[in-house]
Protein backbone atom coordinates (compact mmCIF):
# COMPACT_ATOMS: atom_id res chain seq x y z
CA UNK A 1 0.00 0.00 0.00
CA UNK A 2 1.27 3.49 -0.74
CA UNK A 3 1.33 6.20 1.86
CA UNK A 4 -1.11 8.89 0.79
CA UNK A 5 -0.75 11.01 3.93
CA UNK A 6 1.83 13.30 2.32
CA UNK A 7 0.62 14.86 -0.93
CA UNK A 8 3.33 14.78 -3.58
CA UNK A 9 4.99 18.13 -4.11
CA UNK A 10 4.18 19.64 -7.45
CA UNK A 11 6.47 21.83 -9.51
CA UNK A 12 5.78 23.87 -12.61
CA UNK A 13 8.02 25.75 -15.02
CA UNK A 14 7.51 29.38 -14.06
CA UNK A 15 7.06 30.41 -17.69
CA UNK A 16 4.10 28.02 -18.00
CA UNK A 17 2.48 29.25 -14.77
CA UNK A 18 0.06 32.10 -14.16
CA UNK A 19 1.62 34.97 -12.16
CA UNK A 20 -0.24 34.21 -8.96
CA UNK A 21 -0.03 31.78 -6.10
CA UNK A 22 -1.34 28.43 -7.33
CA UNK A 23 -0.17 26.00 -4.65
CA UNK A 24 2.66 24.70 -6.81
CA UNK A 25 6.40 25.48 -6.63
CA UNK A 26 7.65 27.49 -9.62
CA UNK A 27 10.96 26.58 -11.26
CA UNK A 28 12.66 29.51 -12.99
CA UNK A 29 15.00 29.45 -15.99
CA UNK A 30 18.75 30.16 -15.87
CA UNK A 31 18.13 33.54 -17.53
CA UNK A 32 15.72 34.53 -14.73
CA UNK A 33 18.61 34.57 -12.24
CA UNK A 34 19.81 37.85 -13.76
CA UNK A 35 16.56 39.61 -12.83
CA UNK A 36 16.82 38.33 -9.25
CA UNK A 37 20.46 39.46 -9.04
CA UNK A 38 19.48 43.02 -9.99
CA UNK A 39 16.56 43.17 -7.53
CA UNK A 40 18.60 41.59 -4.74
CA UNK A 41 21.48 43.99 -5.37
CA UNK A 42 19.20 47.00 -4.93
CA UNK A 43 17.66 45.64 -1.73
CA UNK A 44 21.06 44.77 -0.23
CA UNK A 45 22.54 48.12 -1.32
CA UNK A 46 19.60 49.89 0.31
CA UNK A 47 20.49 48.27 3.66
CA UNK A 48 24.15 49.23 3.10
CA UNK A 49 23.05 52.85 2.49
CA UNK A 50 21.06 52.86 5.76
CA UNK A 51 24.05 51.68 7.79
CA UNK A 52 25.53 55.09 8.63
CA UNK A 53 22.07 56.37 9.62
CA UNK A 54 21.25 53.65 12.14
CA UNK A 55 22.25 55.45 15.33
CA UNK A 56 20.70 56.93 18.45
CA UNK A 57 18.39 59.88 17.77
CA UNK A 58 17.02 58.92 14.33
CA UNK A 59 13.37 57.99 13.92
CA UNK A 60 12.33 54.80 12.18
CA UNK A 61 10.26 56.99 9.85
CA UNK A 62 13.42 58.81 8.73
CA UNK A 63 15.03 55.43 7.93
CA UNK A 64 11.93 54.49 5.94
CA UNK A 65 12.11 57.72 3.91
CA UNK A 66 15.79 57.16 3.11
CA UNK A 67 15.02 53.61 1.94
CA UNK A 68 12.05 54.67 -0.19
CA UNK A 69 14.03 57.41 -1.96
CA UNK A 70 16.98 55.06 -2.53
CA UNK A 71 14.77 52.43 -4.14
CA UNK A 72 13.00 54.89 -6.46
CA UNK A 73 16.37 56.49 -7.34
CA UNK A 74 17.51 53.06 -8.51
CA UNK A 75 14.57 52.54 -10.85
CA UNK A 76 12.87 50.09 -8.51
CA UNK A 77 9.74 50.16 -6.35
CA UNK A 78 9.22 49.21 -2.69
CA UNK A 79 7.23 45.96 -2.64
CA UNK A 80 5.74 46.66 0.80
CA UNK A 81 3.96 49.89 -0.13
CA UNK A 82 0.37 48.84 -0.79
CA UNK A 83 1.03 45.24 0.20
CA UNK A 84 -2.09 44.19 2.16
CA UNK A 85 -2.53 47.85 3.09
CA UNK A 86 1.00 48.35 4.45
CA UNK A 87 2.11 51.94 3.77
CA UNK A 88 5.87 51.86 4.32
CA UNK A 89 9.03 50.76 2.50
CA UNK A 90 10.72 48.89 5.34
CA UNK A 91 9.80 47.07 8.52
CA UNK A 92 11.71 48.26 11.60
CA UNK A 93 11.59 45.69 14.40
CA UNK A 94 13.21 46.81 17.66
CA UNK A 95 14.18 44.66 20.68
CA UNK A 96 11.23 42.38 21.53
CA UNK A 97 9.51 43.10 18.19
CA UNK A 98 9.79 39.89 16.17
CA UNK A 99 8.88 41.30 12.74
CA UNK A 100 6.74 43.79 10.82
CA UNK A 101 7.46 46.75 13.13
CA UNK A 102 5.94 49.83 11.48
CA UNK A 103 8.20 52.88 10.93
CA UNK A 104 7.00 55.96 12.78
CA UNK A 105 8.02 58.58 15.32
CA UNK A 106 9.91 56.11 17.49
CA UNK A 107 13.47 57.30 18.14
CA UNK A 108 16.38 54.81 18.27
CA UNK A 109 18.19 54.83 21.59
CA UNK A 110 21.48 53.49 22.88
CA UNK A 111 21.24 49.76 23.62
CA UNK A 112 18.48 48.98 21.13
CA UNK A 113 18.80 46.20 18.56
CA UNK A 114 16.88 46.67 15.31
CA UNK A 115 16.06 44.58 12.27
CA UNK A 116 15.44 46.46 9.03
CA UNK A 117 13.68 44.43 6.33
CA UNK A 118 13.39 45.74 2.78
CA UNK A 119 11.95 44.36 -0.45
CA UNK A 120 12.61 46.02 -3.81
CA UNK A 121 10.94 45.18 -7.13
CA UNK A 122 13.15 45.71 -10.20
CA UNK A 123 11.76 44.90 -13.65
CA UNK A 124 9.15 42.69 -11.97
CA UNK A 125 11.64 40.70 -9.83
CA UNK A 126 11.69 40.80 -6.01
CA UNK A 127 14.74 41.17 -3.75
CA UNK A 128 13.91 40.65 -0.05
CA UNK A 129 16.51 40.94 2.73
CA UNK A 130 16.97 41.98 6.34
CA UNK A 131 19.78 42.43 8.86
CA UNK A 132 20.33 43.43 12.48
CA UNK A 133 21.97 46.59 13.83
CA UNK A 134 23.05 47.59 17.31
CA UNK A 135 22.35 51.17 18.39
CA UNK A 136 25.36 52.34 20.39
CA UNK A 137 26.50 49.64 22.77
CA UNK A 138 24.20 46.72 23.45
CA UNK A 139 24.18 43.92 26.04
CA UNK A 140 26.27 40.81 25.52
CA UNK A 141 23.02 38.87 25.55
CA UNK A 142 21.72 40.92 22.61
CA UNK A 143 24.98 40.55 20.67
CA UNK A 144 24.97 36.80 21.27
CA UNK A 145 21.37 36.53 20.02
CA UNK A 146 22.23 38.41 16.83
CA UNK A 147 25.29 36.16 16.24
CA UNK A 148 23.19 33.06 16.84
CA UNK A 149 20.46 34.19 14.42
CA UNK A 150 22.99 34.99 11.69
CA UNK A 151 24.55 31.55 12.22
CA UNK A 152 21.12 29.89 11.92
CA UNK A 153 20.58 31.58 8.54
CA UNK A 154 24.04 30.68 7.23
CA UNK A 155 23.91 27.06 8.46
CA UNK A 156 20.60 26.68 6.63
CA UNK A 157 21.97 28.29 3.44
CA UNK A 158 24.92 25.86 3.54
CA UNK A 159 22.46 22.99 3.00
CA UNK A 160 20.69 24.47 -0.03
CA UNK A 161 21.32 22.38 -3.14
CA UNK A 162 19.31 20.12 -5.46
CA UNK A 163 18.15 16.99 -3.64
CA UNK A 164 18.06 18.60 -0.18
CA UNK A 165 14.67 19.03 1.50
CA UNK A 166 13.01 22.04 3.09
CA UNK A 167 12.96 20.07 6.36
CA UNK A 168 16.78 20.11 6.33
CA UNK A 169 16.70 23.91 6.29
CA UNK A 170 14.15 24.17 9.09
CA UNK A 171 16.03 21.65 11.18
CA UNK A 172 19.33 23.51 10.80
CA UNK A 173 17.79 26.73 12.14
CA UNK A 174 15.88 25.07 14.96
CA UNK A 175 18.70 22.80 16.15
CA UNK A 176 21.25 25.62 16.34
CA UNK A 177 18.87 28.01 18.10
CA UNK A 178 17.71 25.42 20.64
CA UNK A 179 21.25 24.15 21.31
CA UNK A 180 21.92 27.69 22.49
CA UNK A 181 18.86 27.95 24.76
CA UNK A 182 16.93 30.12 22.31
CA UNK A 183 13.87 29.33 20.18
CA UNK A 184 12.67 29.81 16.61
CA UNK A 185 9.39 31.56 15.86
CA UNK A 186 6.73 29.27 14.34
CA UNK A 187 4.18 31.88 13.28
CA UNK A 188 6.15 33.43 10.40
CA UNK A 189 8.21 31.76 7.72
CA UNK A 190 10.33 32.33 4.64
CA UNK A 191 8.72 32.03 1.22
CA UNK A 192 9.10 31.47 -2.46
CA UNK A 193 9.56 34.71 -4.42
CA UNK A 194 10.38 35.82 -7.92
CA UNK A 195 7.78 37.68 -9.93
CA UNK A 196 5.58 37.34 -6.81
CA UNK A 197 6.51 38.68 -3.34
CA UNK A 198 5.16 35.72 -1.36
CA UNK A 199 4.79 32.46 -3.30
CA UNK A 200 5.05 28.72 -2.69
CA UNK A 201 6.73 27.14 -0.84
CA UNK A 202 6.49 28.14 2.83
CA UNK A 203 10.03 27.93 4.22
CA UNK A 204 9.57 27.22 7.92
CA UNK A 205 12.51 27.51 10.31
CA UNK A 206 11.89 24.27 12.24
CA UNK A 207 11.50 20.68 11.10
CA UNK A 208 12.90 17.26 10.46
CA UNK A 209 15.71 16.44 8.01
CA UNK A 210 14.59 14.64 4.86
CA UNK A 211 11.01 15.85 5.07
CA UNK A 212 9.15 18.44 3.03
CA UNK A 213 9.55 19.42 -0.60
CA UNK A 214 12.79 18.55 -2.37
CA UNK A 215 14.88 21.45 -3.63
CA UNK A 216 15.27 21.65 -7.40
CA UNK A 217 17.33 23.94 -9.67
CA UNK A 218 15.43 27.14 -10.47
CA UNK A 219 13.62 27.42 -7.12
CA UNK A 220 13.78 30.97 -5.71
CA UNK A 221 12.99 31.54 -2.02
CA UNK A 222 13.96 33.33 1.17
CA UNK A 223 15.25 31.98 4.45
CA UNK A 224 14.55 34.41 7.30
CA UNK A 225 14.73 32.85 10.77
CA UNK A 226 13.36 34.81 13.72
CA UNK A 227 15.08 33.67 16.93
CA UNK A 228 13.85 34.58 20.41
CA UNK A 229 15.99 34.75 23.54
CA UNK A 230 13.06 33.11 25.33
CA UNK A 231 9.94 31.21 24.36
CA UNK A 232 8.81 31.03 20.72
CA UNK A 233 5.34 32.50 21.32
CA UNK A 234 4.40 35.75 19.59
CA UNK A 235 1.41 38.06 19.72
CA UNK A 236 0.14 40.62 17.27
CA UNK A 237 -0.36 44.22 18.43
CA UNK A 238 -3.61 46.06 17.73
CA UNK A 239 -2.09 47.82 14.69
CA UNK A 240 -2.54 44.47 12.94
CA UNK A 241 1.14 44.23 11.90
CA UNK A 242 3.62 44.43 14.78
CA UNK A 243 4.47 40.97 16.13
CA UNK A 244 6.16 40.85 19.55
CA UNK A 245 7.43 38.06 21.80
CA UNK A 246 4.78 37.04 24.33
CA UNK A 247 7.37 36.84 27.10
CA UNK A 248 8.95 40.16 26.00
CA UNK A 249 12.26 38.43 25.34
CA UNK A 250 14.56 39.92 22.68
CA UNK A 251 14.13 38.69 19.12
CA UNK A 252 16.47 38.84 16.11
CA UNK A 253 16.17 38.04 12.39
CA UNK A 254 18.28 37.91 9.23
CA UNK A 255 16.97 37.28 5.71
CA UNK A 256 18.49 36.42 2.33
CA UNK A 257 16.84 35.78 -1.06
CA UNK A 258 18.42 32.93 -3.04
CA UNK A 259 18.11 30.61 -6.00
CA UNK A 260 18.88 26.89 -6.24
CA UNK A 261 21.53 26.26 -8.94
CA UNK A 262 22.55 22.97 -10.62
CA UNK A 263 25.00 22.26 -7.81
CA UNK A 264 24.20 24.55 -4.89
CA UNK A 265 22.83 27.99 -4.16
CA UNK A 266 23.24 31.57 -5.36
CA UNK A 267 22.55 34.37 -2.87
CA UNK A 268 20.90 37.38 -4.47
CA UNK A 269 21.14 39.72 -1.47
CA UNK A 270 24.81 39.66 -0.46
CA UNK A 271 25.86 43.05 0.96
CA UNK A 272 28.01 44.85 -1.67
CA UNK A 273 29.69 46.74 1.21
CA UNK A 274 30.39 43.57 3.19
CA UNK A 275 28.00 44.62 5.97
CA UNK A 276 26.56 41.12 6.52
CA UNK A 277 26.50 41.63 10.29
CA UNK A 278 26.26 45.43 10.48
CA UNK A 279 25.99 45.35 14.29
CA UNK A 280 29.68 44.41 14.30
CA UNK A 281 30.55 47.64 12.44
CA UNK A 282 29.23 50.61 14.46
CA UNK A 283 27.86 53.52 12.43
CA UNK A 284 30.36 56.41 12.23
N1 LIG B 1 9.74 41.66 3.94
C2 LIG B 1 8.85 40.83 4.70
C3 LIG B 1 9.23 39.40 4.40
O4 LIG B 1 10.34 39.05 4.62
C5 LIG B 1 7.42 41.10 4.42
C6 LIG B 1 6.96 42.41 4.90
S7 LIG B 1 5.34 42.63 4.42
C8 LIG B 1 4.98 44.16 4.95
O9 LIG B 1 8.51 38.62 3.87
F10 LIG B 1 3.90 44.48 4.38
F11 LIG B 1 4.94 44.15 6.28
F12 LIG B 1 5.94 44.98 4.64
CO1 LIG C 1 10.70 37.60 3.16
CO1 LIG D 1 11.75 40.56 4.19
CA of 6 to the centre of ligand 1 (A): 29
Q: How far apart are the C-alpha atoms of 134 and 89, rounded to whole Å?
A: 21
For 124-135, what is the mean pLDDT?
98
Please give the distance of CA 206 from its chain centroid, rounded to a whole number.
15
Structure confidence at residue 4 (pLDDT): 54
**H or E element in which residue 25 lies:** strand 25-27
pTM of the model: 0.97
The ligand 1 atom nearest the CA atom of 222: 4
Task: With cut-offs at 50, 70 and 90, classify the pLDDT of residue 284.
Answer: confident
pLDDT at residue 110, rounded to an integer: 98
Residue 183 in 3-state DSSP? strand
pLDDT for the residue numbered 2: 54
Q: Is the CB of 92 under 6 A from ligand 1?
A: no
> pLDDT digit string (tens) for 134-175?
999 999 999 999 999 999 999 999 999 999 999 999 999 999
Contact 197 CB / ligand 1 (< 6 Å):
no
The string of DSSP letters for 193-245 reads -SSSSSEEEEE-S---TT-SPBP-TT-EEEE--EEESS-S-EEE-TTSS-EEE
Ligand having the closest approach to the CA of 130: 3
CA angle 209, 212, 218 (to 5 degrees): 105
Q: Specify whether the CB–CB gap between 103 and 64 falls below 8 A.
A: yes
**Over the stretch 22-36, which tens digit does the pLDDT of each residue have?**
999 999 999 999 999
63 ligand 1 Cβ < 6 A? no
Q: How confident is the model at residue 8 (pLDDT cuts 50, 70, 90)?
A: confident
Site to substitute for ligand 1 among 60, 119, 253, 255, most atoms within 8 A of C-beta? 119
Average of per-residue pLDDT across 76-96: 98
- Ligand 1 test: best mutation among 120, 121, 128, most atoms within 8 Å of CB? 128
Does 93 contact ligand 1 (Cβ within 6 A)?
no
Q: Residue of the nearest CA to atom 7 in ligand 1?
A: 80
Amino acid sequence: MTDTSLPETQYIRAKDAPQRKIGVIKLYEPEDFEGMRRAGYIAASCLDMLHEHVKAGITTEALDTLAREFIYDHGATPACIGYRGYQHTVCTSINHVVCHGIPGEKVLKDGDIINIDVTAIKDGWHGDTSRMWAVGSVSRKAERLMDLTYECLMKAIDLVKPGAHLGDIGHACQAHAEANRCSVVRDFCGHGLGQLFHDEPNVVHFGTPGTGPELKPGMFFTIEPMVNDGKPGVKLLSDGWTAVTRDRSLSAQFEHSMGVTEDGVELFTVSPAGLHQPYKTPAA
